[in-house]
Amino acid sequence: MAEQIVVSGVGVWNPEFTITNEELVNSYNTWANSYNEVHKAQIENGELTAKPLSSAEFIEKASGIKQRYIYQKDGALDIDRMRPNIPERDENTLSDQAQIAVAAAKKALAEANKSASDVDAVIVSCAYTQRAYPAIAIEVQQELGIDGFGFDMLVACSAATFGMHRAYEMIASGNARCVLVINPELVSPQINYTDRDSHFIFGDVATATVLESAETASAEHVYEVLSTKALTKYSSNIRSNFGYMSRANDVDPYGPDKLFHQAGRKVFKEVCPLAAEHIEQHLAKHELTPANVQRWWLHQANINMNTLICKRLLGREASAEEAPIVLDEYANTASAGSVIAFGLHHKDLKSGDYGVLCSFGAGYSIGSLVLKKR
Ligand code: COA
């Protein structure tokens, strides 16, 4: 019989600072009014377009987001800066991203009843890494005292599920017994705080999961991974062109197209049906239907997307208990959203209950795990 692989621990770490919609809108609108005043003549003669104002009511209605966590609040709301102020650390100090990764990893290891010596590999999987090399995962590995190996992966919104997918395969192939997957989503440096359409979308967080062989799992809450499923379909509708080529391209490495930008409405329309179909097919592989599933830990980009996907799957609205929403508090945390939902809403499930953990977004990428509580 093939080896049974389980998720035995999950950790969620959030920064101490928050920004409410009202604070964010107040800062943006002050910046926009000042821009419009300074460029009044060019706006009047048509050379420039006036910056439109943002609204907290719009943000909550269009996305469900009420606030977000931020790693360093200083600078992000300052209209003369409009980006967080995070001092660079010297090369002998633990990097910012490794620090938040370690914080989430420790929580996941504690929940899984595991220590560093039990772990064979570390995968850091997220939307951005703060440097190209050495891998953040190797820094985390050293900080936690883990033998074996580590590597980084970038899969935008699906980095967490795709990372768990890799861990599953590494254990299934016998190359590892226990793998730590960490998603340090330090996304605030990539937010364009001067763009009304996207300034509200993201928040910082770090999540981690422990995957291991069922034989070694001793945690209180253990979830059998029935299988993993991944799908990608190329689209530029969610994009960041930030990268090392800017230097050779002779372009501004921080121009608007180098930060997060998207065609939000198109994404909404195209990704919802893809995600619903993907989940349905994944469940069918196990002769399950959406009606058999007790919990939906879905990607957390927009509450209206999750409502629509659940309606397509269930033919009715899912209750808050069935499909927990965390984006009101955390906003879109790139790949970490479905893992936060899992981390905060899994302990009440009963043995034999089914859950689906699913991400969807940039790439496009969709990743899912069908889980069954042991
Ligand atoms: N405040 C006030 N008005 C705003 C605004 C803001 N912050 N941002 C946009 N608007 C305006 C738009 O300019 C537009 O005005 P118009 O009708 O005069 O042109 C109107 O509100 C509607 O904008 P639209 O972009 O169509 O809103 P929406 O309902 O699609 O919601 C998103 C925008 C981004 C919340 C939504 O499209 C979304 O979440 N899409 C999915 C994105 C996603 O999952 N991305 C994954 C990223 S990892």
Domain locations in the chain as residue ranges: 226-373
Residue 265 CB–ligand 1 contact under 6 Å:
yes
- With a pLDDT cut of 90, the percent of the chain lying above it is 99
**What pLDDT, on a 0 to 100 scale, did the predictor assign at position 135?**
98
Q: Which pLDDT band holds residue 236 (cuts at 50, 70, 90)? A: very high
Structure tokens at 19: 């920004």
Band of residue 1 on the pLDDT scale cut at 50, 70, 90: very low
Element (H, E) at 238: strand 238-239
- The residue whose CA has the least distance to atom 8 of ligand 1 is 197
The residue type at 292: N
203 lines ligand 1 (CB under 6 A): no
Handedness of CA 53, 57, 62, 67 (dihedral sign): positive
pLDDT for res 57: 98
What is d(CA 108, CA 50) in angstroms, rounded to the nearest whole number?
Answer: 47
Q: In this structure, which residue's CA is closest to atom 11 in ligand 1?
A: 197
Sequence-distant (≥ 6) Cβ neighbours of residue 92 within 8 angstroms: none
Q: Which mutation among 55, 158, 197 tests ligand 1's pocket best, with the greatest number of atoms within 8 A of CB?
A: 197
Question: Ligand 1: distance of its center to the CA of 197 in Å?
Answer: 6
Tens digit of each residue's pLDDT (9 = 90 or more) over 79-134 = 999 999 999 999 999 999 999 999 999 999 999 999 999 999 999 999 999 999 99
> Residue 3: which pLDDT band, with cuts at 50, 70 and 90?
confident
Q: What is the 3-state secondary structure (H, E, C) of 273-332?
A: HHHHHHHHHHHHCCCCCHHHCCEEEECCCCHHHHHHHHHHHHCCCCCCCCCCCCHHHHCE
157 included as an active-site residue? yes
Q: Is the pLDDT of residue 2 over 80?
A: no
Indicate the SS3 state at residue 12. strand
User: Is a pLDDT exceeding 60 seen at residue 196?
Assistant: yes
* pLDDT for 363 beyond 60: yes
Atom of ligand 1 nearest to the CA of 332: 48
Centroid of ligand 1 to alpha carbon of 112 (angstroms): 40
- Token representation of residue 2: 């093939």
Q: Is residue 54 in contact with ligand 1, taking CB distance under 6 Å?
A: yes
Q: What pTM was computed for the model? A: 0.97
| 157: confidence class by pLDDT, cuts 50, 70, 90 | very high
User: 239 CB less than 6 Å from ligand 1?
Assistant: no
Alpha-carbon distance of 99 to 68, in angstroms, equals 20
If you average pLDDT over residues 314-324, what whole number do you get? 97
- Pick one of 3.40.47.10, 3.40.50.2000, 3.30.1360.120, 3.40.50.2300 as the CATH number of 226-373: 3.40.47.10
Measured by CA distance, the residue closest to atom 36 of ligand 1 is 264
The pLDDT mean for the chain works out to 97
Tell the residue nearest (CA) to atom 38 of ligand 1.
Answer: 264
% helix, strand, coil for the chain, step of 5: 40, 20, 40
DSSP state at residue 52: P
CA dist 133 and 130 (Å) reads 9
Q: How far apart are the CA of 58 and the centre of ligand 1, in A?
A: 8
Beta carbon of 60 within 6 Å of any ligand 1 atom: no
| Ligand 1 atom, smallest distance to 157 CA | 48
Ligand 1 pocket, mutate which of 26, 267, 360 (most atoms under 8 A from CB): 267
Distance 60 CA to ligand 1 centre (A): 11
Task: With beta carbons less than 8 A apart as the criterion, state whether 250 and 193 touch.
Answer: no
For ligand 1, atom 30, name the residue with the nearest CA. 265
